[in-house]
Structure 1
Amino acid sequence: MASKQTPAVRAAEAAGIRFRLVEYDYEPDAESVGLQAAAAMGIPPGQVFKTLVCLLDGAELVCAAIPSDARLSLKALAAAAGAKRAEMADPAKAERSTGFVVGGISPFGQKRRLRCFLDASAAGQDEIVVNGGRRGLQIALAPADLVAALAAVVCPLQAE
């Protein structure tokens, strides 16, 4: 198996937070990486947060972490970020900016650190799981530790 020392894992270690790594067999043909990861790890989908890279007002890239079984409200993200509009970023642009491949984008250890927005549903959980910087590797941690380490904004991000 590939190394567990990804930039995301190194960034989480450098932040001094408590976390554990969880590995699973990544299925490249899965319809939803987050849902496949949750099923493979035996974790409820609402506890596994996918990292989506979005573009605000055509200029700023940000990341939004939402439950794997939820849809992102671009309107809610724009409002939380103080922008007029938000759209999904081009996958190639997201990969260049973060240094991770789609399906392995983590809120931690990005090449160019993006502002992070965490869905409010994380606040009611003892532990959430986010990508560890490569496909098949996840970081399990307390939501408060993610917020502290990344100065993440906690806000409602799910589409109705």
Structure 2
Amino acid sequence: MCALAIRFAEHEHDAVFTVAESDAVHAAMPGAHTKNLFLKDRGGAFWLITVPSDARVNLKALPAAIGCKPVSFGKAEDMARLLGITPGSVTPLAAINAVPESLTVVLDAALADADPVNVHPLRNTATLGLAGAAILDLLRHWGHAPVVAAIPVQDNSVG
């Protein structure tokens, strides 16, 4: 990340595979923590969605928010083929391995404005903290056209 002069903090830690495991490891790290969804829409397009770690994404409302067809979770073999990573290591930074236009990377609007935003560096044994704007700069540098959107979340209120 030096070529773009992007400032970041690196944190090494034990492997994490779930948001709950990440929460325990990341408790002492400042900034916004994330989770990522690798999705495929009914039209065959792939999407990598990055949201705050506590967000429960409303998958039924998501297509209207980001301009896609109805979505389902992508397969691990597609993730490996497109991004060169395995489940548990999903990160917007994996777009470095993706051919531009092979998938769309979406960053939740709250994260785009946050600093730092904590993401995996293509492995789940470390976390990088960098500005949301820097993540967008990297995606553009790698030839992607990232989407910033207010990702719809499930309403957890009881009425």
Which TM-score tier does this pair reach, normalised by the shorter chain? Answer: 0.7 to 0.9
1:50 and 1:131 in contact (8 A); partners too: no
Percent identical: 30
Larger Rg: 2
Q: What's the counterpart of residue 111 of structure 2?
A: 122
Structure 2: where are the runs of 5+ without partners?
140-144, 155-159
Alpha carbons of structure 1 residues 15 and 55: separation in structure 2 relative to 1, 3 Å: farther
Structure 1: where are the runs of 5+ without partners?
1-11
1:38 and 1:44 in contact (8 A); partners too: no
Q: What's the counterpart of residue 87 of structure 1?
A: 72
Q: What's the counterpart of residue 69 of structure 1?
A: 54
What displacement does 1:53 show? 0.9
Q: Is residue 44 of structure 2 the alignment partner of residue 59 of structure 1?
A: yes
What displacement does 1:13 show? 4.2
Q: Secondary structure at the match of 1:55?
A: strand
Q: Secondary structure at the match of 1:74?
A: coil
What displacement does 1:43 show? 4.7
Structure 2 counterpart of 1:112, one-letter code: A
Q: Is residue 70 of structure 2 the alignment partner of residue 78 of structure 1?
A: no
Q: What's the counterpart of residue 21 of structure 2?
A: 36
110, 121, 133: which one pairs with 1:144? 133
Q: Secondary structure at the match of 1:66?
A: strand
Q: Structure 1 length normalisation: TM-score? A: 0.76
Q: Structure 2 length normalisation: TM-score? A: 0.77
Q: Secondary structure at the match of 1:101?
A: coil
Q: What's the counterpart of residue 92 of structure 2?
A: 107
C-alpha separation between the residues in 1 aligned to 2:16 and 2:7?
28
What displacement does 1:89 show? 0.8
C-alpha separation between the residues in 1 aligned to 2:146 and 2:19?
20
Q: Is residue 36 of structure 2 the alignment partner of residue 47 of structure 1?
A: no
- Aligned pair count? 145
What displacement does 1:35 show? 3.1
Q: Secondary structure at the match of 1:134?
A: coil
What displacement does 1:123 show? 4.0
1:72 and 1:157 in contact (8 A); partners too: yes
Alpha carbons of structure 1 residues 15 and 74: separation in structure 2 relative to 1, 3 Å: farther
Q: Is residue 120 of structure 2 the alignment partner of residue 131 of structure 1?
A: yes
